[in-house]
Amino acid sequence: MHVPDGVLPAQVSAVGYAIAAPFIAYALRTINRSASPVEVNRAIPKAALLTATFFVASSIYIPIPPLGSVHLLMNGLLGVMLGYYAIPAILIGLFFQALLLGHGGYLSLGVNLLLIGIPAILAHHLFQLRHRFLRRFNRQSVYAVFGALAGGIGILGSALVFFGVVILTIPADINAVTERTAIYFLMLMHLPLALLEGAFTASFMVFLLRTKPELVEGTGLRSPLPSPPKQAERV
């Protein structure tokens, strides 16, 4: 899923950085504007843990001979759990993957942040829609459904952006038909991964709801739904 250095033209990598810079600035401004210092202090350890999760999960390759391999992303989970904190978390994870593992690259860092970070934010906003259904449906079912959708849309969104960028930048000296066929096949191979990440995110949401509801009910930058006021006791 990561775009390695040398695959994209230099102009595309430059555009990636040009778009990623205001994207990061917007995420940080949203965090500073929407979260109190106490919330930021609580979010930092969670963000650090999920950054490590992203680093490890997206470093595990599943080979698909003879075309290459696919790997987990967990960017949907990061979007659900961190909201806009997911952007600096993904940026740090991508940087250390390039530094320590040679996964991705420095020139393509901006493009990789966009193709992984934007679907993470989409997953965050999709998961926030659960509030509209909590009063009408079972809480665990709502969290499971929206967790599955958010987990799936994270990796599918990244796959669509990735393969779109690669297809549009196929060099002229490469057989475009063969290259597109391989890309389409790899795209299909991400559908099982989307189901897997969706199922994992749904299960994780239900698990947290049962054990540590405060970790999931106030995910992102929104506070959990207020509890209904208690009726005054009759004397």
* Segment holding 225, helix H or strand E: none
Q: Interhelix angle for 75-82 vs 37-57, to 10°? A: 170
What pLDDT does residue 181 have? Answer: 82
What pLDDT does residue 38 have? Answer: 72
> 228: helix, coil or strand?
coil
> What one-character DSSP code corresponds to residue 226?
P
Domain boundaries, the chain: 10-217
What pLDDT does residue 223 have? Answer: 38
What pLDDT does residue 85 have? Answer: 94
What pLDDT does residue 199 have? Answer: 96
Number of Cβ within 10 Å of residue 18's Cβ equals: 11
Domain topology for 10-217 = Arp2/3 complex 21 kDa subunit ARPC3 (1.10.1760)
For residue 62, report the phi and psi dihedrals to the nearest 5 degrees. Answer: -110, 110
**Sequence-distant (≥ 6) Cβ neighbours of residue 50 within 8 angstroms:** 74, 77, 78, 81, 82, 86, 89
* Segment holding 161, helix H or strand E: helix 139-168
Report how far residue 74's alpha carbon sits from residue 192's, in angstroms, rounded to the nearest whole number.
14
What pLDDT does residue 203 have? Answer: 96
Threshold 0.75, pTM exceeds: yes
What pLDDT does residue 36 have? Answer: 73
For residue 163, report the phi and psi dihedrals to the nearest 5 degrees. Answer: -70, -30
- Give how far Cα 4 sits from Cα of 106, 130, 136, 144, Å: 9, 36, 46, 34
What pLDDT does residue 58 have? Answer: 83
What pLDDT does residue 129 have? Answer: 95
Helices (H), 6-85: 10-34, 37-57, 75-82
What pLDDT does residue 225 have? Answer: 39
Residue with tokens 């739904």: 225
Report how far residue 78's alpha carbon sits from residue 81's, in angstroms, rounded to the nearest whole number.
5
CA nearest neighbour of 158 among 113, 119, 197, 122:
119
pLDDT in tens, the chain (235 residues): 688 888 888 999 999 999 999 999 999 999 988 767 777 777 888 899 999 999 998 888 777 776 667 888 999 999 999 999 999 999 999 999 999 988 889 999 999 999 999 999 999 999 999 999 999 999 999 999 999 999 999 999 999 998 888 888 877 777 778 778 877 888 888 888 899 999 999 999 999 999 998 888 765 544 333 444 444 444 3
